[in-house]
Structure 1
Amino acid sequence: MKIILASSSSYRKKLLSRILNDFECVSPAIDETPQTNEAPSELAMRLSIQKAESIARKYPDAWVIGSDQVALFDGKVLGKPGTLEIAKQQLFSFSDKKVEFITGVSLIHLNSQFQEYHSDITEVHFKKLSTEKVTQYLAIDTPYDCAGSFKVESFGICLFNSVETKDPTALEGLPLIALTNLFENAGIDLLSLSRSTI
């Protein structure tokens, strides 16, 4: 059975390797620009599905996983900072406040016409952040390719008061609980599959 992660993200690849021993990563070529008046939840869903669909059309007999994450602060979608200065601005603005993350995941198999989607919402509550703490953190993790300017799997957790979520892997970019449920809905037991590839 062929399984493909429609992503070039090293973070998502590492997450998926926790529950799958044999899969491929193929980068999807889609336009990720938000559409006019598109709600954040709709954006996460559309991009998750489009990523999977773009790869599924090339590999119709493969099980293709697509995922996307949208970060929200004060009702606005956050982009990846890209630079030190923007990362500083983002983190300072989060001080003693909440940032919401919508993480979507889709599973598509074209030949059997299976397609399902799920999303998780995670709330990250930040500590009161000092200039010293933000500067120290950014020097350690350099999270300029991460929406929200932090890496939860690393020292980013030093910035939080709490995290509210149903799935601890959702904040990292790929909700594994939801994904295992999608596979089960398709009649695939990942535990059995993993045992057969060990």
Structure 2
Amino acid sequence: MEKCQNYQSVYYYNILKSRTIYPRLVLGSSSVYRRELLQHLQIPFETANPAIDESALPEETPDVTALRLAKEKAYALVKQFPDALIITADQVATLDKIQLGKPLNHENAVRQLRLMRGREVVFHTALCLFNSRTACLQARIVPCSVKYRELNDDQIERYLAREQPYHCAGSAKSEGLGIALIERITGEDPNALIGLPLIALVEMLMMEGVEIL
């Protein structure tokens, strides 16, 4: 994990908290699922779409791709939010070291799910918290391994018809019907699979003087 500690920043935010005022918190994501996850912490925040190119670079490993993109999303919002804590995340799924991106259409989703059935996929979820006032960046990769059930073609088609997870890495929306595809999940934070590791985020916010409880 990359950490950045600025004690002046912590002092400043502790003063704000003592007045029951939170620092400006921005979730740099257009994902409704990340927004719903962040709402679990019951703190005020707003959302913004970083709108960056999310293509992987040649010879880039999955964890490096996810971490780079999460950082770029944060940096893309600095001018718009010069005095805020910016939360960003990115996720790359891999099977046998092959990256599985967002399928974007039905044909690609069928292909992905046929490839994944009965096998284990690793989701590399990168999380960043960037203080745009102090330029303090915290970043971490939270991996999660998922073993998929042995699905037949009819089950895959029925799932896709009902869920249409075409903008989810690996075609599996675990926060919905996609949970029925899964045999086992292994990882330090179940929220990482959905795209926002809350356990790590709470720790990062505490480093910036933001107490959740």
Report the TM-score when normalising by structure 1.
0.92
Partner amino acid, structure 1, of 2:103: P
Checking the alignment, whether the CA contact within 8 Å between 2:43 and 2:212 is kept in structure 1 is no
Checking the alignment, whether the CA contact within 8 Å between 2:26 and 2:84 is kept in structure 1 is yes
Alignment correspondent of 2:143? 121
Quote how far apart the aligned CAs of 1:41 are: 0.9
Alignment correspondent of 1:171? 193
Deviations 1:95-149 (A, max 9, x none): 1111110001100112223210011111110111111211121122111111111
Partner amino acid, structure 2, of 1:60: P
Alignment correspondent of 2:63? 41
1:106 aligned to 2:128?
Answer: yes
Runs of 4+ in 1 over 4 A off after TM superposition: none
Q: What is the correspondence of 1:24-173 to structure 2 with a 5 Å cutoff?
A: 24-173=46-195
Quote how far apart the aligned CAs of 1:154 are: 1.0
Quote how far apart the aligned CAs of 1:72 are: 0.6
SS in 2 for 1:33: coil
Quote the RMSD (CA, aligned, Å). Answer: 1.2
Quote how far apart the aligned CAs of 1:29 are: 2.8
Question: Partners of 2:113 and 2:147 in 1: how far apart?
Answer: 12
Q: How many residues end up aligned between the 2 structures? A: 191
Quote how far apart the aligned CAs of 1:57 are: 3.2
Checking the alignment, whether the CA contact within 8 Å between 1:80 and 1:146 is kept in structure 2 is yes
Of 159-168 and 30-39, deviating more is 30-39
Question: Partners of 2:88 and 2:42 in 1: how far apart?
Answer: 15
Question: Partners of 1:54 and 1:190 in 2: how far apart?
Answer: 26
Quote how far apart the aligned CAs of 1:171 are: 0.2
Quote how far apart the aligned CAs of 1:43 are: 0.7
Checking the alignment, whether the CA contact within 8 Å between 1:114 and 1:186 is kept in structure 2 is no
Partner amino acid, structure 1, of 2:58: T
Question: Partners of 1:132 and 1:33 in 2: how far apart?
Answer: 32
Of 25-34 and 115-124, deviating more is 25-34
SS in 2 for 1:179: helix
Question: Partners of 2:140 and 2:203 in 1: how far apart?
Answer: 9
SS in 2 for 1:162: strand
Question: Partners of 1:123 and 1:97 in 2: how far apart?
Answer: 10
Partner amino acid, structure 2, of 1:138: L
Q: Percent identity?
A: 38
